[in-house]
Amino acid sequence: MSRQTEFTKSINVVTTEMHTAGDPVRIAVSGYPDIIGDTILDKRRYVREHLDHLRRLLIQEPRGHKDMYGVIPVKSDIKEADMAVLFMDSEDYAFMCGHCTIALGKYAVDHGIVKGVSPETTVKIQCPCGLVTAHVEYQDGKSGTVRFESVPCFSFAADLIVNLEGYGDIHYDISFGGCFYAYTDITQFGLDIKSSPIADIITAAMKLKRAITETVTLAHPENNELAFLFGVMFYSGSLGNCSEEVCVYADGQVCRNPCGSGCCGLLAVLYHKGLIKEGEVKTFVNSKTQSSFNGKIVKQIKLKNTLAVIAEISGKAYYTGECTFFCEQDDPQPSFLVQ
């Protein structure tokens, strides 16, 4: 590129581009300054306080969009991990992302971070919520389907009710699947999970999220830094028979796939209510895109005094390209977010 000398040298980030069941994954493979911190949560705080301009540059328009998702590889602080990562979206830095984890499993094997072994290669990934184990199908030198085992997931509160102006009494559950989510039947809002405009679904989700944030105090048995409501997952009709859903997270972002961490939390809800058995496979389908993940409960565990489960989600990721992002010195709008 002949004009390279005109670009700001301090902002020059190379990425690998992927998608998992339709949801984007932008992995920053080089160009980030050193990320300081003894633990992964320290590193998350550091990028929020000192390097957030890079998140906005990579994730928000004009280089990204409101629903873009990104990954920053960092140095692990636990010996069991093969790699460690921070997740970023257009609002902030998430503690967990299931669809990124699926992509990272494939990426780690394909790029030699972990040597590929047939028929399946194990990749241990340190996420801000904890250590996640991915298992990557590997045949004839090629990676395939990835399944990951979650951090401990648990039902936090069941059968809650909140009155929302314009909608009336809304029944919902709260569960942790790496992040906290609320789960609710979309028909209570007068909406259809397939045909209602996504703008109306976002409006309902954000109204419920605000109401829960104002009225419910979340808690995590091991780390209350994780204790905030990340998203709302809608299903339709009976929870036990739900087959399609749509997830709205962060500041009104929408998943293109069924949402890996959201599905982990949903499995915990189903298990808590006796609606699914250990080892029973359930297929989750995004109602808008029809992309799917398979999920199941691997085992039941104790998380201090909380009954928890290890959930497993499986899906496929694909490469879409490689990019080098930079910013011209006189660019008046290096990033912005369309509201």
Residue 5 is given by DSSP the state G
Cβ distance 187 to 141 under 8 Å? no
User: 119: helix, coil or strand?
Assistant: coil
d(CA 106, CA 135): 9
The strand ranges marked E within 81-119 are 83-89
Cβ distance 204 to 171 under 8 Å? no
Amino acid at 149: E
Span between the terminal Cα atoms of the chain, in Å: 34
Amino acid at 312: E
Q: What residues does 166 pair with on adjacent strands?
A: none
Q: Residues 63-66: contacts with CB within 8 Å, 24+ apart?
A: 63/325, 63/335, 64/26, 64/90, 65/90, 65/338, 66/90, 66/252, 66/253, 66/337, 66/338
Catalytically annotated residue among 97, 100, 247, 264: 97
Burial class (CB in 10 A: 0-12, 13-18, 19+), 266: buried
Amino acid at 105: G
User: 51: helix, coil or strand?
Assistant: coil
Our answer to whether residue 97 is catalytic in this structure is: yes
Quote the Cα angle for 189-191-193, to 5°.
125
Residue 97, token pair as written in the block: 């992302």
Residue 66, sorted as left (phi over 0), alpha (psi -120 to 50) or beta, turns out to be alpha
Q: What residues does 58 pair with on adjacent strands?
A: none
Query: Would you name the residues annotated as active-site residues?
Result: 97
